[in-house]
Chain A
Amino acid sequence: MPEVDATFLALPRHELAEAALQRARDLGAAFAEFRLERIRYESISLRDSVLESATDDEDLGLAVRVIYDGTWGFAAGVALTKDEAIQVAEQAVNMAQVSRPINAEPIELADEPVYDDVSWLSSYEIDPFSVPRSEKVALLTDYSDRLLTADGVAHVSVHLATVHECKFYANTEGTSYTQQRVRIGPDITAHAVQADRFDSMSSCASPVGRGWEYMTGTGWDWDDELAQIPGWLAEKMAAPTVESGSYDLVVDPTNLWLTIHESIGHATELDRALGYEANYAGTSFATTDKLGTLKYGSPVMHVTGDRTAEHGLSTVGYDDEGVAGQQWDLVKDGVLVGYQVDRRMAKVNEDLLGTPRSNGCAYADSSGHIPIQRMANVSLQPAVDGPSTEELISRVKNGIYIVGDKSWSIDMQRYNFQFTGQRFYKITDGKLDGQLRDVAYQATTTDFWGSMEAVGGPQTYVLGGALNCGKAQPAQSGAVSHGCPSALFRSVRILNTTQEAGR
C-alpha cells in the first residue's frame, strides 16, 4: 500500500503553517490559509526509439492567502524557513491592503466542517518515481520499436509525463490535511509519410490518476493497441476523403470525453458563468438565470461533477480551500441543474444553488499560484442496461463512427465547437465500412447534446482526460478526467478539412 512520502512528511509543515497563520492573525486577517506543496515532474521523450530527453523536476514552495479588510491577498515564497513563512504572510496582507481600493465586494466563505490533521492518498499501485529511469526508458523503447518496425510507419514519437504531488494545507478555522496524488500521461504516435501527404495515428490511452502499472497493462491493453496502430494508420493513409454534409455519429468515449470537457465541463464552471474569466478563458452560455430550466441536451443526458471517482485526475480528498471531495449533478434529464463552485461563490450564490456548501472545486496548480475554481471530473453517465457500441452503430444507416481525440476548439461562451479525431469509420446500413479521412465535426453545444438519441451501457464507459487544461491569469494548468459511454447523435455537420483549407 502506498503511503505519503516520508521525505515530504519530514518537512516542517506544521511549524511553517503555524508561523504564517499566527502572523496573519496578528496582523488582523479575518481568515488565512497556508499551503506547502512539493510537486515532482518527470518527462521522458523518445524520437524514433532514441531517447530525446528525460527530465526530473521538482517544484517546492509555500503560499499564504488571507482575507484582510474583506479583500483577498495572496503571496508565495520558496524558502522553507519560519522567517520566510512569516514574510509571505506579511506580503499577503500587504497585497490585500494595496488591492482594497479596487475591491467592491467583501469576501466571505461558505462554511465547511473542520478536518483536523487528516491524510489522503490517490489510488495507485506503483509510484512512477520509484521505478528506475532505465526501466521506464526500456519499456517505452520497446513500445516505440513495435511501431517503428511495422510496415508504413516512418517515424514514432513517444512521450511520458508523470506527476507526484504532495500537499499540506492548514487554515485558521482549524482544518489541516496532508494529501498525495499521482498521475501519468502517455502519448504515443506513429507517423506515415508519402510523397504527397503525411498523417499520424496516436494511442487512445488517456492520462489518468494511476501509477506506473498503467504503462504495463493495468487499465490499458497496450499489446493489443500497439499491434493495431500500424494497420489503422495504413488504412487511414489509403482512405477516401469525406464528403462534407450532415451525418449521424456514433462517438466513442475516447473522443467524446474532450467534447464533454469543452462544451459541458467549462460551461458549468460558475466563475465563468459569473464573468470572472471574461478576459481570458471566457464566459458561459449556461448563465445562472437558466439554472433548472436550460435544455442542455436530450432527456438521456445525465452529467455529474465529482472529485471522488477512482483514478480521476481531478479526484482529491480535500480541495485547496479545505473542502472534502463530493459528487453532484450538473445536467439531469437533459436540464442544467448545477455548477462547479468554490467557497466564495458558494457563499454569494447560496440561494441560487440551494445549498450553503461548496462542492469543493478550488485548486491551485502549484504553491506559486492562487487557488481558483477548477474543473471537477465531469462525466456523462451511461444508461443502466444500455446498448453496446456495436448496437449503437447498428442503428445508423449512413453515418460515421469517431474514435480518439485530436484537434479541438470552442468559442469564448462555449457555443460553437469543432473537433477532429484519430479514426473515422464510415457506417453503412448499420455496419462499419472502412475509414474516412479529413473529417471534422462542428456544432453548437445545445444542438449537439440535443441530438443525442442514446447513450451506451456501462460496458462502453471509459475514463478519458487531460493533464494540461488551461485557465486563469496567471495561467494555471489543471488535470481532469471525464468518463463517458459511447453515444449516438443524429444529423451532425461534418466538414472536409482539405476543402476548408481551400484545396
Chain B
Amino acid sequence: MTTAIQLTPQDTIERGLALAAAEGADGCVVIVAETSSANLRWANNTLTTNGAMRGSSVTVIATVGAGEGTAAGVVGRSSVTDESLRELVSAAVATARASSAAEDARPLVEGTVGADWDAEPEETSVNVYEKFAPALGETLQRASKESRWLYGFADHEVVTLYVGSSAGLRMRQALPRGHVTATGKSGDLSQSAWVGAATRDFTDIDALALDSELTRRLGWATRTVSVEPGRHATVLPPAAVADLMTYLFWQLDGRDAFEGRTVFSKPGGTRVGDTLSSQPVNLLSDPQLPGLETFPFAVARSSGRSSSVFDNGLTLTATDWIRGGKLEHLMTSRHTAELIGAPAATPDIANYVLSVDGASGSTDDLVAGVEHGLLLTCLWYIRMVDPQTSLLTGLTRDGVYLVENGQVTGAVNNFRFNESPVDLLARFTTAGATIQSFSREWGDGFSRTATPPLLVPDFNMSSVSQAS
C-alpha cells in the first residue's frame, strides 16, 4: 500500500511554489479546489440515484522567461500527495520550458495573504437534506395517492478554492451552491409542469410548497387547446429569460467580437457604445451580489477567450455589460483588453443580473395585462443557429399556457422557437421586477442569475412539438 501523505491545501501551495522555484521556474501559480457534494434524484415517485462525493484537484501553472518571452506550462491532477506533487510541478515546469512564448503573458498578479487563508476547506454532506428528504418522501407518497408522477433532483455542493502564487498572492474562498428542480406529470403523462430554485443551504427550500406549485400548474391543464406556430404575444417567466440571457452572456467575449465573429461585432471593431434596446435594460455582474456571491478574483485553469492563466487572482468588481440599453463592456483578459483597445480588463464573472429600470410586478402581473397570448414555463435544448444575429433555436418545455383576458385558461402544445436574445431585448414591451432565477437548461452549471419576467409581443414559434 502507498504511504503517500495527503497534504492540506495550504501546504500543497507552499510546497508547490517552492518546488517550482527549485526547478528554476520564474513564476508559478497553484490552484487547489476542495469539493464535496451530495445529491438525491427521483423519478416515477421513487428514488433513482444518489451520491456523496468528495473531490480534490491541484492545478500548477509554471512560467519561464520574462516579459513578452514568458511561456507557461499548465498541469492538473486530482488526489495529489506529497509524492505526486513533485511530479506534477516538474511536469508543469518542463512543459513551460518546451513551450513557445504565451501571447497572453503578463506579470503575475501581486497580492497579499487573505484574512481566512489558514482556514480549512468547508464541506457538505447528505445531512444537508435532513429536513428536505422526509418532506420529499411525503410529496412522493402524496403524488402516488393522487395519481401524479414526480421527477426531480436536489444537489448541494461546496467548493473551497485556494490560489497562491510566487508573486505573493494567497487567496481562499468557500462557496456553497445548491439547487432543486422538480417535474410533475399527470397520471396519463399527457401534461407536464416544472419548478426550479437555487439555494445556498436548502434551509429555504420547502418540498411541499414546490409540490403545491406543480399541482397548481397541472390544474391549469385540465383544459387543453391547440395553438398554431407563428408569432405570439408571449410572457417569459424569469427562468425562461435566464435560459436565453445566459446564452447572450456567453456571447460577450471581446476578442471574438473584435475579430468579427459575433453578434457584437461591427466593421472595424465591436458594438461597444451601441444602443441594443430603446428600453433602460441593464446587464451586470458583481461577485458580491447578495444571494449570487461568486469568486471575487479571477480563476483560470487554462487560457482562452477572456480567460488568461496569467490573470489568476485579479480582483473582480461590479461590471456593467449593458447599461440603459447601451452595450458598455465586453469580457476581456488583460491581454485581450489591450488587443482590442479596451481601457482595462473586464474578465468573466460567474453571475449576472438582468434588470429594467422602473420595472415592477411578477410574472402573474404580466399575465394579467395580456389579452391573448402564451405563458411559458422554461426553454430547452437551446443551440446557436446563426452567430451573426445570435439566432437561437430551442423548445418550450413542461408547460405552455394560454392566456385570455389576463387569465390562464388552459394548456397548449409545445413549440420549437427560433429567436435571438439580443433582438428580444430590443422588442420586449413590458418587464417585471428582477428576481433570483434558475435556468432550466443552464442552471446546473450556471445557477447565479437574477432576471425579470418579460412580455414579448411577437415571439417566433417556428413549429409545433408533439412532446408532452
* Chain A interface residues (CB < 8 Å from chain B): 12, 15, 43, 45, 50-61, 71-82, 91-92, 94-96, 98-99, 101-105, 132-134, 137, 154-155, 191, 193, 195, 197-199, 274-280, 282, 285, 368-370, 372, 407-416, 418, 420, 438, 440, 442, 444, 472-475, 493, 495, 497-498, 500-503
Contacts and interface: CB of A to CB of B under 8 A. Distances in A.
A473 B136 contact: no
B51 A60 contact: no
A407 B194 CA distance: 26
Interface stretch (B145-153, B364-372, B430-438): B145-153
B102 interface: yes
Interface string B191-203: 0101000000000
A95 to B, nearest CB: 5
A442 B133 contact: no
B380 interface: yes
Contacts of A409: 381-383, 393-395, 416
Nearest to A57: B76
Contacts of B8: none
A175 B198 CA distance: 41
B465 A416 contact: yes
B79 A279 contact: no
A155 B267 contact: no
Given A53-B302, A191-B261, 7 more contacts: A54-B99, A72-B49, A81-B2, A101-B134, A275-B149, A282-B467, A418-B418
Contact of B444 (A73, A199, A372, A475): A475
Nearest to B381: A409
Contacts of A80: 2, 79
Contacts of A59: 57, 78
A60 B77 contact: yes
B381 A411 contact: yes
B382 A102 contact: no
Interface stretch (B40-48, B217-225, B274-282): B40-48
A190 B151 CA distance: 43
B418 A53 contact: no
Determine which residue in B134, B380, B381, B462 has the highest number of CB atoms from chain A within 10 A of its CB, and name it: B381
A273 to B, nearest CB: 11
Given A56-B95, A497-B386, A76 B53 contact: yes
Contacts of B103: 50-52
Contact of B95 (A54, A74, A414): A54
A416 B98 CA distance: 50
B385 interface: yes
A55 B75 contact: yes
Contacts of A503: 389
B467 A53 contact: no
Contacts of A74: 49-52
B429 interface: no
B384 interface: yes
29 contacts: A51-B100, A52-B304, A54-B95, A55-B75, A55-B76, A56-B74, A56-B95, A57-B75, A61-B55, A99-B50, A104-B45, A105-B46, A132-B98, A193-B259, A275-B44, A276-B44, A279-B152, A279-B181, A279-B183, A407-B385, A410-B381, A413-B468, A414-B467, A415-B466, A416-B464, A473-B155, A501-B423, A502-B423, A502-B460
Interface in B339-396: 380-389, 391, 393-395
Contact of B99 (A51, A102, A278, A282): A51
A102 B151 CA distance: 12
B423 A411 contact: no
A101 B137 contact: yes
Contact of B50 (A73, A79, A276, A495): A73
Nearest to A87: B54
Contacts of B309: 53
Question: 9 tightest A-B contacts by CB?
Answer: A413-B467, A193-B260, A78-B79, A104-B46, A416-B465, A500-B418, A473-B153, A57-B76, A278-B151
A24 to B, nearest CB: 15
A99 B155 CA distance: 14
A138 to B, nearest CB: 10
A497 B302 contact: no
Interface of B: 1-2, 6, 37, 39-57, 59, 74-79, 91, 95, 98-100, 102-104, 126, 129, 133-134, 136-137, 140, 144, 149, 151-153, 155, 181-183, 185, 189, 192, 194, 259-261, 265, 267, 301-304, 309, 380-389, 391, 393-395, 397-398, 414, 416, 418, 420, 423, 444-445, 460, 462-468
Contacts of B303: 52-53
A95 B50 contact: yes
A59 B79 CA distance: 8
Interface centre among B91, B393, B394, B463 (most CB of A within 10 A): B393
A418 B467 contact: no
A55 B126 contact: no
A493 B133 CA distance: 48
Contacts of B460: 500, 502
A285 B445 CA distance: 27
B50 A81 contact: no
B380 A411 contact: yes
A96 B40 CA distance: 11
A154 B149 CA distance: 53
A131 B85 CA distance: 23
Contact of B48 (A52, A276, A368, A493): A276
Interface centre among A413, A440, A472, A498 (most CB of B within 10 A): A413
A134 B133 contact: no
A285 B418 contact: no
Contacts of A372: 49
A498 B387 CA distance: 11
Nearest to B194: A279
A102 B46 contact: yes
Contact of B56 (A78, A105, A408): A78
Contact of A154 (B99, B104, B136, B260): B260
B76 A81 contact: no
A278 B185 contact: yes
Contacts of B304: 45, 52-53
A31 B176 CA distance: 33
Contact of A133 (B1, B39, B99, B386): B99
Contacts of B397: 411-412
Contacts of A73: 50
A280 B51 contact: no
Contacts of B51: 74-76, 95, 369-370, 474
Contacts of B185: 275, 278
A91 B389 contact: no
B445 A475 contact: yes
B391 A501 contact: yes
Nearest to A101: B137
Contacts of B389: 498, 501, 503
B140 A104 contact: yes
A411 B465 CA distance: 7
Nearest to A10: B2
Contacts of A76: 51-55
B463 A442 contact: yes
Contacts of A105: 46
Contacts of B55: 61, 76, 78, 368
A98 B137 CA distance: 11
Contacts of B98: 132-134
A95 B52 contact: yes
Contacts of B47: 71-72, 99, 102-104
B78 A78 contact: yes
Contacts of A411: 380-381, 395, 397, 414, 416, 465-467
Nearest to A141: B100
A197 B388 contact: yes
Nearest to A473: B153
B414 A501 contact: no
B304 to A, nearest CB: 5
B467 A72 contact: no
A95 B189 CA distance: 30
Contacts of A95: 50-52, 126
A369 B155 CA distance: 13
